[in-house]
Chains A and B, each alone.
Chain A
């Protein structure tokens, strides 16, 4: 059987998170859908697509806010929505975001299933590639005190080796416990490059527990809650990790942000759609995943050249 390949797009959705995995049969697994204004919706509206599954790492609005628009799109077929419980279900925002999801579920458009450890989202015919949740277990989910503490951690594995990790907004302590010793090709965030426990004394040890080759930080120029955290990016870069952020922040180049000059418009270059706010830096990132390797899109060198001209790019550890 031919080597099956996946295309993974890490989207620039402004402040939020969204990745799209294109499976060998061209159906999609969407990992977080981004905020209410997510450009993913614009892209999906343009032509009908088959969605194998939607996985929501946790129910914050910057990860799940685009769900009502997505599930109400005509012409889409959706297999399964995976989500977990991370807050009281009387929470008004939770009810408002998921009302449309329940409505469409009741019509039989898709199943909604609890996301928990060992949940296999997808695996290839050869079983050489799979996407699986490694956190939280049912008890870890219900024992968590805050939504971020129970954010799901997803792994894309190549012949059992972890290639990409999506930890959502999970604390670094939990990421370190679950991914200790791993050397994935790509790690996202967590928490938009500012892990929630970054002020704890053992933080540096937790960061060092896993050594990704590349860090993709999905962060918005606007409403970014002072993310990403310079010290975190600096530590990652110091370990030889290639750090890229979806959007530019004022830390990196205030003047370029004020002029709203994109560093590179990868949404256009990759045929995707841009967010309506913020100044793209790397913008989107695309990788092709086979059982043995992960290859990034053709725009790395151009982006790197341009980043070096910024005033104080956080991604270079300056």
Chain B
């Protein structure tokens, strides 16, 4: 027995046959069902660096892929942290919160906000800098103790093309859902990277000085990422600003937030930052250094910066001597896919001796962030 469905205005787009197979007639090839969202970790869930702890330094990542700016003005006691405060009845587990303890003037050069840089490989299909540049829609949940009009700076890698999108907070301390559609930059003289550099830089302003502020809703020349006269919660003591569910997708419609599998999202993050557990590595030594191989979980964006949490202990398997160091660089013959790392140690190894290395603490981190 078949049922008749009243599909109303969608009748031309959706049909259901007697086998209950559903056919969608007008699926757009340029709006994929998966990987619509070009923002990585937009639900603020993955925090490999801090495990939920607050950061308080400028140009530091609060969660994966979300960098924080907090310098240039007189505000103090600013912290940014992963939070479990999320919109009620929502599918999100986490947000981030930007807290200003003592408010102060932003001045002419203040830079306060949070940012994600989308890699060129993940943005080149938007065809910026051509006559065919595509519109995109940015959607997110936000809650702030300071009402007003906020700016979102969008820039290219060279920081000579800028667009200020805006949204309004009308009620303090209340989660609100925002969607903003942005026209593409069709200026054919503009340079938009399509490689492993920055494709699109997105900056949620929480206070930007007059040197980098401008009017909204048009592409402009210059390094601009704040809204003239826009809200600046860092000027208010005790202010808080939360955000989660950030999505950037092609077109003019904000679709529901795309929840990718956790392992997939983590792998996307690991292209920019990853870390080892406590490991033992085997390699070869010479009289001034020892080289070891490591394979990262995914191909990293560039040859990474390495930070050791404590020293690496290098043992010479042949001489049975050891030395330790925190000077560990990616080897010159490396690629982002997996690479050698070179420990600078002297007086332990003889040429081509077999060596192994142990991390004396718990992690070695690799950063290839934008």
Q: Are these two chains actual partners, yes or no? A: no
Residues of B at under 8 Å CB distance from A?
none
Residues of A at under 8 Å CB distance from B?
none
